[in-house]
């Protein structure tokens, strides 16, 4: 039985601050948004229209009612609306978490339209959100941005030209935006999660976590998959003043995925299989 870890929030760390988390109705974005709420921030989240009600119910169960805005990050007008509605509701914007992304995973069969949509939601959407958020952050004397990247930004994986090139672009966007926004005291960083059990992964596993957690878990030094809640601490660290001298960089949150060589797989597969 896979146990979900718990996290103790840093009480009041983000009190009086306002955060916008794209794709915050589900998975990793939801975990980050919930921990920001638990640490005192006012939070707005976006999600695809069919995810909005489920997100609202999940937050309500925890005693929170963040602003939830439904729409598609591929649409420029929606990105503008997200920033405008957040500032209209909470009066300011301090933090942006660019998290919503397209999961189109295609390689030799990828069409130009597949690339267009992947990049439109992904690095183009991230870039536009940063451009739109910066003026609001400048008004507060600064801010911080976390882009949710991936191990897929760093390695080759089969049949993933669309997803991996889009994530690769997020890495360079993070660096370039960090350089250009440093004079405004706006820091820009990314996290690169390993395999995290969210619904896309659950779908791929046909819902059988007991069977597939060890199979995909063995790719990580820790010989297991990650939980969405394990992405929240590192993301909140990068947003917080504890990271005041950290910008333009990536924090792998991948259980050692990126550092393991093929020789290590024998060891991790034994551990994963014995759990």
Residue closest to ligand NAD when measured from CB atoms: 27
Q: Which of 195, 212, 219, 257 binds ligand NAD (CB under 6 A)?
A: 195
Q: Which of 10, 40, 58, 72 binds ligand NAD (CB under 6 A)?
A: 72
Q: Which of 32, 196, 243, 272 binds ligand NAD (CB under 6 A)?
A: 196
143 binds ligand NAD (CB under 6 A): no
Binding mask 201-230 for ligand NAD (x = CB under 6 A): x-----------------------------
- According to the 3-state scheme, what is the secondary structure of the chain? CCCCCCCCCCCCCCCCCEEEECCCCCHHHHHHHHHHHHCCCEEEEEECHHHHHHHHHHHHHCCCCCEEEECCCCCHHHHHHHHHHHHHHHCCCCEEEECCCCCCCCCCCCCHHHHHHHHHHHHHHHHHHHHHHHHHHHHCCCEEEEEECCHHHCCCCCCCHHHHHHHHHHHHHHHHHHHHHHHHCEEEEEEEECCECCHHHHHHCCCCHHHHHHHHHCCCCCCCCECCHHHHHHHHHHHCHHHCCCCCCEEEECCCHHHCCHHHHHHHHHHHHHC
Q: Which of 18, 69, 74, 178 binds ligand NAD (CB under 6 A)?
A: 74
- Interface size with ligand NAD, residues (CB under 6 A): 26
**Stretch of 58-66, 83-91, 97-105, 137-145 lying at the interface with ligand NAD (CB under 6 A):** 97-105
Which residues form the interface with ligand NAD (CB under 6 A)?
23, 25-29, 46-48, 51, 72-74, 99-101, 121, 148, 150, 193, 195-196, 198-201
Residues annotated as catalytic are: 163
């Amino acid at each position: 039985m896979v146990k979900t870890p718990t996290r103790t929030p840093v009480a009041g760390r983000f009190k009086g601050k306002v955060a916008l988390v794209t794709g915050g109705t589900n998975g990793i974005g939801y975990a980050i948004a919930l921990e920001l709420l638990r640490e005192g921030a006012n939070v707005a989240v976006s999600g695809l229209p069919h995810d909005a009600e489920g997100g609202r119910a999940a937050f309500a169960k925890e005693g929170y009612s963040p602003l939830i805005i439904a729409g598609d990050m591929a649409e420029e007008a929606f990105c503008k609306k997200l920033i405008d509605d957040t500032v209209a509701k909470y009066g300011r914007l301090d933090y942006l978490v660019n998290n919503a992304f397209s999961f189109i995973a295609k390689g030799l069969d990828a069409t130009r339209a597949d690339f267009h949509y992947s990049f439109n939601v992904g690095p183009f959407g991230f870039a536009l959100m940063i451009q739109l958020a910066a003026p609001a952050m400048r008004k507060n004397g600064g801010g911080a941005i976390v882009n949710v990247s991936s191990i897929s930004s760093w390695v080759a994986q089969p049949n993933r030209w669309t997803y991996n090139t889009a994530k690769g672009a997020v890495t360079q966007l993070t660096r370039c935006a960090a350089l250009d926004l440093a004079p405004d005291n706006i820091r820009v960083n990314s996290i690169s999660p390993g395999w995290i059990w969210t619904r896309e992964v659950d779908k791929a596993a046909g819902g059988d976590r007991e069977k597939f957690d060890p199979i995909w878990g063995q790719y990580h030094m820790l010989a297991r998959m990650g939980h969405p809640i394990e992405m929240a601490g590192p993301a909140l660290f990068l947003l917080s003043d504890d990271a005041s001298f950290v910008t333009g960089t990536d924090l792998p949150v991948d259980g050692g995925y990126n550092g393991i060589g093929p020789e290590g797989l024998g060891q991790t597969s034994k551990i994963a299989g014995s759990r």
